[in-house]
Amino acid sequence: MKRRLVQRGSPHGDILMDTDNHNVGDGKAGTSTSQAVRALLGLRELILGGELPPGARISEVWVSERLGVSRTPIRAALIRLQEEGLVEPIPSGGFAVRSFDENEISDAIELRGTMEGLAARLAAERGVSTSLLHAMRDVIAQIDTALTGELTAVKFSQYVDLNARFHQLLAEACGSGLVARQIDKVTSLPFASASAFVMVQSIDESAREMLLLAQSQHCAVVEAIEQREGARAEALMREHSRIANRNLKFALQNQQAMSQVLGGSLIRRAGRTA
């Protein structure tokens, strides 16, 4: 029996981790698993929340005391976060928190758009099961409901979750495990996920228009897939990713907008050092 832990709002999108229910908290194996999960989620939160700023050397002793876990799972968490790109090794030993300039984030978003475009084209060319198309249509209908009426914080949160779900279904729809894995790898890059900058729109006067534009692209992509129009589906998804780049630029020009981005303190304008 597995229990799924979710860390929401990460620049990587929702972070999902499975643990064994019968192990967690029961005996040595459960304690080890629990500490590993707590170390990874806790350390990631310290970085994204700004408690560990860009360039800061990460003290295993301090993190161990701060999170209440031993140093062994802290070391494992640091290696995992290095793979994710949030920390980097330093010459003197250990790890430091990374910063990211707008160009590398923009490139990561562009790369995601390219891979999702490929997924959409393959889905259109190879065909998608009725059940998967129904699931995509269902998410679109739920987004329509979320965008009806006043755009509240609750509705924004619903949109973020549903948007992430739509992109997950698109990756499944391509019918290629290889492509789906590459999309997962791309979206794990810091700030590259489809949801990383959505909350920026919560303070944008044109928020509704931008969300409706994104939703119209969701609808058009599914329609293109159903009509087996591969080139159109690909072009639509590549265009869709440009909304994230637009949000990135808006956040860089607006401190209040950047405050809506979890991990925003790690982002710097191109040409500036950490």
According to DSSP, the β-strands at 100-101 and 267-268 are parallel
Bridge partners of 96?
A: 57, 88
Sign of CA dihedral 160, 164, 165, 169: positive
In a domain? residue 274: no
Q: Considering the chain, what is the average pLDDT of its residues?
A: 86
At 7 the pLDDT is: 47
Q: Return phi, psi of residue 138, to 5°.
A: -65, -40
Rounded (10°) CA dihedral 132, 137, 142, 145: 180
Q: 135 or 49: whose pLDDT is higher?
A: 135
> Which tens digit of pLDDT belongs to each residue from 215-266?
999 999 999 999 999 999 999 999 999 999 998 988 888 888 888 888 888 9
At 113 the pLDDT is: 96
At 272 the pLDDT is: 54
Q: Length of the chain in residues, anyone?
A: 274
Interior angle at CA 143, CA 239 and CA 124, nearest 5: 45
Distances (CA, A) of 273 to 11, 175, 216: 21, 42, 38
Model confidence at 32, in pLDDT bands (50, 70, 90)?
low
**Closest listed residue to residue 250, CA positions, set 187, 212, 208, 198:** 198
Distances (CA, A) of 165 to 109, 154, 170: 17, 17, 9
Let me know: does 156 contact 260? Beta carbons within 8 Å: no
Lowest pLDDT segment from 10-24, 80-94, 118-132, 147-161: 10-24
In a domain? residue 273: no
Bridge partners of 15?
A: 7
Q: 273 or 6: whose pLDDT is higher?
A: 273
Q: Domains in the chain: how many in total?
A: 2
Same domain for 92 and 150, yes or no, is no
In a domain? residue 53: yes
Name, in order, each residue with C-beta under 8 angstroms of 20's C-beta and a sequence gap of 6 or more.
1, 2, 3, 30, 33
Which one of 97, 124, 150 terminates a domain?
A: 97
Q: What is the CATH number of the domain that holds 178?
A: 1.20.120.530
DSSP state letter for 97: E
CA distance 258 to 173: 33
Same domain for 55 and 188, yes or no, is no
CA distance 163 to 22: 33
CA distance 122 to 170: 10
Same domain for 83 and 218, yes or no, is no
Q: Which residue has the tokens 């293109």?
A: 224
Same domain for 48 and 69, yes or no, is yes
Please report how the helices 60-67 and 27-48 are oriented relative to each other, as an axis angle in degrees rounded to 10.
110
Q: Give the domain extent around 115.
A: 101-268
Lowest pLDDT segment from 79-83, 108-112, 240-244, 250-254: 250-254
Q: What is the CATH number of the domain that holds 89?
A: 1.10.10.10
